[in-house]
Chains A and B, each alone.
Chain A
Amino acid sequence: MGLKHALGRTPYYVLAGGLAVIFLFPLVWNAWASVSGQPGTAQESGYGFGNYRTLLDYDAGLWRYLLNSTIVSALTVALTLGVSLLGGYAFARFDFPGKNLLFLLTLAILMVPYATLLIPLYVLLGRLHLQNSLIGLSLVLAMFQLPFATFMMRISFEAVPRELEESALVDGCGTSGALRRILLPAVKPGLITVGLFAFLAAWNDFIAPLILISDSEKAPLPLAIANLRQQSMGAVDYGATEAGVVVLAFPCLLLFLLLQRHYMRGFMSGALKG
């Protein structure tokens, strides 16, 4: 009986397992290739970290690009969290003139193609003296996060029972006191989800820095790795690119595996309401 049952399941596991191999193979291969020997790379033979050493020395150096990416990601996350926390509170708990219009406008950011906005933003940031600046790039990336972040924080605040906040108001807290002491802990899961999505978007974005950053010293990591590949077109350095992909992918995969629950929540809310 048990055997028959197991046999009945075999086709399922062959199919699902086969697909899993296909989905895992590129990731595993890339990690392996980045440390294994290839002619024409810094790691000619055997196993080692030669390709990663190439990255350390490339142009402004890996540390510089990692720093750029970290600055942009941290700024984007901080801006997104700050703006959407206050905005979500306002939309969930207050009535004010223009509320619906502002909420609709925020969501409308989703409807407008990236490229349509980046061309005028290139000019606009120039006028604000924020062209070719990591701060300007972070401001733009945070703006693109606002529709999801504001929506997420609004529903997070709406899920908190009003009594909690009102008892604080009775105790003499102002609205900002209630937000800080009572509501902040209650909406923490929403904040983690928003922060996670903002980080992944900022860390991985390619087209915004491509257009807004002209100085290779200021390039975030994805742009730097793509440039590395272009500059060495004569003799293509696949090894260094593979090492770059590992450095790029590592924090994303790690965060995803650690915060899977929060990731899924963002997902479900979007998929259900969408």
Chain B
Amino acid sequence: MQPQVSDRTAADGRRTSTDRTSRTLRTRRIIRTHRTSLPGPAGGPWWRSRKAKGLGYAAPTATFVTVFFVLPLLLVGQMSLSDWPLLAGDRGINSPENYTDITDNTLFWPAIRFTLLYTVIVTVVLLGLALLLALLVQESRPGVGFFRTVYFLPGALGLASASLLFWGLYSPTTGPLSALLEGLGLVDDPVSFLGSPTSALLSTVFLIVWKFAGFYMLILLVGLQRIPHEVYEAARMDGADRWQIFRRITLPLLRPSLALTLLLCATGSLLAFDQFFILTKGGPDNSTVTIVQLIYREAFQRLDLGTAAALSIIVLAVLLLLNVLQFRGLRHADES
């Protein structure tokens, strides 16, 4: 970024440093002669300069980002400080009432506890299975392409579709799982997979693992395939067994990919909504209400956009903090 240097010289500097070898003299001369006739800041109106053209091409992006991202962000801040019923609209500043009111909601602390518990369980199970799958399909052997595709296939579905699918799958009356367990003689009565708080949580975890394992498998696979073969060979020469190779070579070298999946998985789970909204509706007895569901309920059931906005701001702050922490961890992992 050298604003005082004209575009032409900036472009020249970049050119000589990057493609000197790749271009023949003749074309370079043509371009050079041509460039002197290019309208720039010095020759021609400003709106024909490359700077102006770049601005023009970036204008749609800038408009989109401003109207649908920056403005809403500012607005949610304002809303969080205002009395803002859904139907009546803005009724002026009431700060900090929305923030202090949050803890009045008896579901606030249970929702936080539940969301954290869910995040921990999903992250551990999902990343564990994803790593196993990635190791399974890592080497090329007959059928491995088929396995990769099959493991990933649920990932092509939408989360809402997958949740609706499992809602039928878990049905005590028509679902196959309950019938299967009965047929095997493991249970006597139809199983209500979504009936108790614990089983509802675990059933949802199973759905999410099924839906996303292939997705994280792919990220880890990319990481695995970046580990040079020589490292493995050297370890084998030194007489390391499979477990030692996994512990001392694969895991440490996979750390950047693992950190990325951890970040994605933790963020996604903290913001869980569709799966619980469709599968459990927050039940039984509000035992599976997540934070984002709480925001939704504040806004569209209790019709209080102000408190919903305050909750949203808190979620945003927590996520930003988490991202910063993970980013630091990631960098640390890279350095060590």
Residues of A participating in the B interface, judged by any CB pair closer than 8 Å: 9, 12-13, 15-16, 19-20, 22-24, 26-27, 29-30, 33, 38, 40, 82-84, 86-87, 89-91, 93-100, 102, 105-106, 108-109, 111-117, 119-124, 139-140, 142-143, 146, 150, 161-163, 166-167, 169-170, 175, 200, 203-207, 210-211, 222, 225-226, 229, 236, 238, 241-242, 244-245, 248-249, 252-253, 255-257, 260, 264, 267-268, 271-272, 274
Query: B150 to A20, Cβ gap below 8 A?
Result: yes
Query: B176 to A29, Cβ gap below 8 A?
Result: yes
Residues of chain A within 8 A of B1, CB atoms compared:
100
Query: A102 to B157, Cβ gap below 8 A?
Result: no
B 17-58 contacts with A by CB, 8 A:
19, 22-23, 27, 30-31, 34, 38, 50-58
Q: Which residue in B51, B158, B323 is a CB contact (below 8 Å) of A94?
A: B51
Residues of chain A within 8 A of B218, CB atoms compared:
264, 267, 271
Q: A96-B58, A204-B159, A271-B257 are in contact. Are A119 and B136 (CB under 8 A)?
A: no
Q: A24-B150, A143-B69, A245-B161 are in contact. Are A119 and B320 (CB under 8 A)?
A: no
User: Nearest Cβ distance between residue A129 and chain B, in whole angstroms?
Assistant: 14
Q: Which residue in A121, A226, A260, A271 is a CB contact (below 8 Å) of B260?
A: A271
Query: A163 to B27, Cβ gap below 8 A?
Result: yes
- Nearest residue (CB) in A for B213 is A23
Residues of chain A within 8 A of B38, CB atoms compared:
169
Chain B 197-219, CB-CB to A under 8 Å as 1, else 0, gives 00000000000001001100011
A-B contact pairs, 5 of them (CB 8 A): A99-B54, A115-B295, A115-B296, A222-B160, A248-B164
Query: A113 to B319, Cβ gap below 8 A?
Result: yes
Tell yes or no: B235 within 8 A of A by CB. no
Query: A38 to B174, Cβ gap below 8 A?
Result: yes
Query: A114 to B79, Cβ gap below 8 A?
Result: no
> In the complex, what distance in Å separates the CA atom of A244 from the CA atom of B277?
17
The secondary-structure label for the interface of chain B is helix
Residues of chain A within 8 A of B246, CB atoms compared:
none
Residues of chain B within 8 A of A166, CB atoms compared:
31
> In the complex, what distance in Å separates the CA atom of A109 from the CA atom of B73?
10
What is the size category of the interface that chain B forms with chain A? 35 or more
Chain-A contact segment, one of B100-108, B115-123, B307-315: B307-315
- Nearest residue (CB) in B for A15 is B136
Q: Which residue in A33, A94, A204 is a CB contact (below 8 Å) of B50?
A: A94
Q: A248-B161, A249-B161 are in contact. Are A268 and B222 (CB under 8 A)?
A: yes
Tell yes or no: B114 within 8 A of A by CB. no
User: Nearest Cβ distance between residue B17 and chain A, in whole angstroms?
Assistant: 13
- Nearest residue (CB) in A for B218 is A267
Residues of chain B within 8 A of A124, CB atoms compared:
67-68, 71-72, 75
Q: A96-B54, A117-B72 are in contact. Are A105 and B65 (CB under 8 A)?
A: yes
- Nearest residue (CB) in B for A220 is B160
> In the complex, what distance in Å separates the CA atom of A161 from the CA atom of B23?
11
Q: A95-B51, A95-B54, A109-B69 are in contact. Are A200 and B278 (CB under 8 A)?
A: no
Q: A96-B54, A100-B1, A272-B222 are in contact. Are A140 and B68 (CB under 8 A)?
A: yes
Q: A96-B54, A116-B315 are in contact. Are A139 and B68 (CB under 8 A)?
A: yes
Besides A27-B154, A114-B292, A252-B158, 14 more A-B contacts (Cβ < 8 Å) are: A26-B165, A29-B169, A30-B165, A109-B65, A112-B73, A112-B319, A115-B292, A115-B312, A120-B309, A121-B68, A170-B34, A226-B160, A238-B171, A238-B173
> In the complex, what distance in Å separates the CA atom of A77 from the CA atom of B207?
28
Query: A87 to B315, Cβ gap below 8 A?
Result: no
Q: Which residue in B137, B153, B160 is a CB contact (below 8 Å) of A27?
A: B153
Residues of chain B within 8 A of A206, CB atoms compared:
158-160, 274, 277-278
**Most chain-B CB neighbours within 10 Å: which of A96, A169, A205, A267?**
A96
- Nearest residue (CB) in B for A172 is B34
**Most chain-B CB neighbours within 10 Å: which of A91, A102, A123?**
A123
Q: Which residue in A121, A162, A242 is a CB contact (below 8 Å) of B19?
A: A162
Tell yes or no: B193 within 8 A of A by CB. no
- Nearest residue (CB) in B for A32 is B176
Query: B295 to A119, Cβ gap below 8 A?
Result: yes
- Nearest residue (CB) in A for B257 is A271
User: Nearest Cβ distance between residue B159 and chain A, in whole angstroms?
Assistant: 7
Chain B 153-181, CB-CB to A under 8 Å as 1, else 0, gives 11011111100111111010110100000
> In the complex, what distance in Å separates the CA atom of A210 from the CA atom of B305?
16
Query: B160 to A111, Cβ gap below 8 A?
Result: no
Residues of chain B within 8 A of A161, CB atoms compared:
19, 22
B 179-237 contacts with A by CB, 8 A:
210, 213-214, 218-219, 222-223
Query: A112 to B316, Cβ gap below 8 A?
Result: yes
Tell yes or no: B254 within 8 A of A by CB. no
Residues of chain A within 8 A of B53, CB atoms compared:
94, 175
Q: Which residue in A22, A94, A143 is a CB contact (below 8 Å) of B68?
A: A143
Residues of chain B within 8 A of A20, CB atoms compared:
146-147, 150-151
Query: B168 to A241, Cβ gap below 8 A?
Result: yes
Query: A222 to B61, Cβ gap below 8 A?
Result: no
User: Nearest Cβ distance between residue B91 and chain A, in whole angstroms?
Assistant: 13
